Amino acid sequence: MEERHKKILQRNRTNLVTEMEPSSLYDCLFEKGVFTHDMIDAIKSSGTRRDQSRQLVRDLETRGSRAFPFFLECLQETGQHSLAEKLQNGAPAVHVHPTLTPVVLPDIRPLPVTPPVDIDKQRKDNVPVSPAQKLDTTPTPSPESEFIRPRLPSRTRRDSTCAQSYKMDASPCGHCLIINNVEFDPESELSNRKGSNIDCDRLERRFKMLNFIVEVKTNLKQRQIKHELSALSKKDHSLYDCCVVIMLSHGTEVSHSRFPGAVYGVDGQFVTVQYITNYLNGQHCPSLQGKPKLFFIQACGGDERDTGFEVSPDEFEPSFGGVDDQTDAMPMSSSSDSLSTSDEPDARATLPTPSDILVSYSTFPGYVSWRDTQSGSWYVEILDSVLEKNGATDDLATMLMMVNNEVSQISAKGVYKQMPGSFNFLRKHLHFQTQA
């Protein structure tokens, strides 16, 4: 950045720190190539809004000559006009184009495709070589050569990228909401879920040990579920590193465009998993942008029962569920109309890519999830055990694979099987905090 632009930022540092809304600038600064995703994550993790504003200005001074005018454009485009004017008054030579969005990625053009040519033969025959048949090795000049652009992923960066982990050292680490639906209205034609309180107690204790602020809500109707999720999305998560939602209820299979399944309220009305995740995505909960959002769903994905298939006795030891095993299944619903009720918008139309989201299901979509009325569900019992034994050494994705393996070896009534799974859109490894 030019020295005169740095001085303008330094003179206005107090105004920038006190007035700027950095969270609204991140997407714009990334699109214009001022910051990379990793740089934005580092700014977000610096602390409060003022801390993030202060760090953003520091990092801005390290970027190329075009960083300052692009920063002005972003301020204008996000409605922070007074700040942009204060900076412009100190830099009359900078002309801002609010509607101009420069190309971030390099302009890569394919080489002309021509048939093979024998150059020596052409020379002997005194036939000139056409310009299209010559390889122009002269580098194309770039008007933005001084500005640092985000590098495209390449093999040379693979090792460092794979080793990255989410920041998970805040204390507390974040909020954990558990919705435990046990007793259902008679009109819902759904049975009560005996044994679910055991699951709830296990997970409440486990996530408190993982340094989360745990809040339990019991026997919620559909509208109450939405209200609690909305309240969670409106919290300020700036000081935290993660957010967890756990759903314990009956479930069903629904049509979907991203995350399958739905969870029932005690009134017999369901909320789709896709709708549940929408509340915490980067668009609707800005203070969780770039941070992991974890959803654990103990509910059926449908009403189909899996009898498994025969394997070698050496591969699996027989394991049997309890005599009181029940399912959390309901028949498949043909639509996901709960996504578009009269007082809530259909978030699917404008939903961005669900980065930093992981949804762990107790069962494969379309199949039942087994729950023992005396000892709780297979999935929750094993999830709790794996987190206890392996939380200090393994990342979440690895532990969920362990859960999948252990649950797959259990049999209900000596016949029926269950296969958990997850939709993982996390960008980095996730290691929970564990007690020493």
Look at residue 15 and tell me whether its pLDDT is greater than 90: no
Look at residue 330 and tell me whether its pLDDT is greater than 80: no
- Least reliable range by pLDDT among 188-197, 266-275, 404-413: 404-413
Domain span holding position 15: 3-89
CA 224 from centre of chain: 24
> 342 and 247, same structural domain?
yes
Look at residue 420 and tell me whether its pLDDT is greater than 60: yes
Look at residue 3 and tell me whether its pLDDT is greater than 90: no
List the beta bridge partners of residue 176.
214, 244
104 or 181: which leads in pLDDT: 181
255 or 175: which leads in pLDDT: 175
- Least reliable range by pLDDT among 11-25, 173-187, 199-213: 11-25
Closest CA to 427 of 70, 103, 166: 166
> 405 and 288, same structural domain?
yes
Look at residue 61 and tell me whether its pLDDT is greater than 90: no
Q: Is 96 part of a structural domain of the chain?
A: no
> 302 and 183, same structural domain?
yes
Q: Is 152 part of a structural domain of the chain?
A: no
Look at residue 128 and tell me whether its pLDDT is greater than 70: no
Read off the DSSP letter of residue 141.
P
Whole-number pLDDT of residue 88: 85
Look at residue 354 and tell me whether its pLDDT is greater than 60: yes
> 183 and 59, same structural domain?
no
Euclidean distance between CA atoms 271 and 225, whole angstroms: 8
400 or 144: which leads in pLDDT: 400
Give the mean model confidence (pLDDT) for residues 257-271: 89
Q: Is 154 exposed, middle or buried (0-12, 13-18, 19+ CB in 10 A)?
A: exposed
Q: DSSP states of 20-85 as a string?
A: --GGGTHHHHHHTTSS-HHHHHHHHTT-SHHHHHHHHHHHHTTS-TTHHHHHHHHHHHTT-HHHHH
Look at residue 85 and tell me whether its pLDDT is greater than 80: yes
Look at residue 415 and tell me whether its pLDDT is greater than 80: no
Euclidean distance between CA atoms 393 and 378, whole angstroms: 23
Q: Band the pLDDT of 431: cuts 50, 70, 90.
A: very high
pTM of this prediction? 0.55
* Residue where one domain finishes, among candidates 40, 68, 89: 89
Provide φ and ψ at 205, rounded to 5°: -65, -40
Q: Is 103 part of a structural domain of the chain?
A: no
Q: What is the pLDDT of residues 157-200, one digit of tens each?
A: 344 344 589 999 999 999 999 999 999 999 988 889 888 999 99
Asked if 352 and 283 count as a contact pair (C-beta separation under 8 A), the reply is yes
> 328 and 210, same structural domain?
yes
- Least reliable range by pLDDT among 95-99, 338-342, 419-423: 338-342
> 394 and 283, same structural domain?
yes
* Residue where one domain finishes, among candidates 37, 72, 89: 89
Euclidean distance between CA atoms 14 and 66, whole angstroms: 23
> 312 and 188, same structural domain?
yes
> 75 and 188, same structural domain?
no
H or E segment to which residue 25 belongs:
none
Of these residues, 200, 243, 300, 431, which one is catalytic? Answer: 300
Whole-number pLDDT of residue 411: 61
Q: Of 100-114, 120-134, 289-303, 380-394, which has the strongest mean pLDDT?
A: 380-394
* Residue where one domain finishes, among candidates 89, 124, 149: 89
Euclidean distance between CA atoms 367 and 301, whole angstroms: 5
Residue 15 tokens, joined? 């105004």
**What percent of the chain lies above the pLDDT cut of 70?**
67
Where does 95-211 have alpha helices with state H? Answer: 119-124, 158-162, 196-209
Read off the DSSP letter of residue 12.
T
Give the mean model confidence (pLDDT) for residues 261-269: 93
Q: Is 435 part of a structural domain of the chain?
A: no
Asked if 243 and 293 count as a contact pair (C-beta separation under 8 A), the reply is yes
Termini Cα distance of the chain = 46
Q: What is the CATH number of the domain that holds 83?
A: 1.10.533.10
Residue type, 400: L
Angle between helix 49-60 and 37-44 (nearest 10): 140
Whole-number pLDDT of residue 370: 64
Whole-number pLDDT of residue 160: 39
Give all strands (DSSP E) within 219-300, no chain letters.
242-248, 251-252, 262-264, 270-272, 293-298
Task: Report the mean per-residue pLDDT for the chain.
Answer: 76
Whole-number pLDDT of residue 90: 64
Give the count of domains, the chain.
Answer: 2
Look at residue 122 and tell me whether its pLDDT is greater than 90: no
Residue 250 annotated as catalytic: yes
Whole-number pLDDT of residue 300: 67
Whole-number pLDDT of residue 47: 83
Whole-number pLDDT of residue 11: 86
Whole-number pLDDT of residue 106: 52
Read off the DSSP letter of residue 11.
H
> 379 and 237, same structural domain?
yes
> 72 and 217, same structural domain?
no
Of these residues, 250, 284, 285, 431, which one is catalytic? Answer: 250
Whole-number pLDDT of residue 45: 82
CA geometry: angle at 328 spanning 326 and 333, to 5°?
145
Q: Is 417 part of a structural domain of the chain?
A: yes
> 190 and 84, same structural domain?
no
Q: Is 279 exposed, middle or buried (0-12, 13-18, 19+ CB in 10 A)?
A: buried
Q: Band the pLDDT of 363: cuts 50, 70, 90.
A: confident
Residue 227 tokens, joined? 């209200």
Whole-number pLDDT of residue 256: 63
Look at residue 348 and tell me whether its pLDDT is greater than 90: no
CA 387 from centre of chain: 21
Read off the DSSP letter of residue 148.
P
Q: What is the CATH number of the domain that holds 402?
A: 3.40.50.1460
Q: Is 163 part of a structural domain of the chain?
A: no
417 or 212: which leads in pLDDT: 212
Asked if 407 and 419 count as a contact pair (C-beta separation under 8 A), the reply is yes
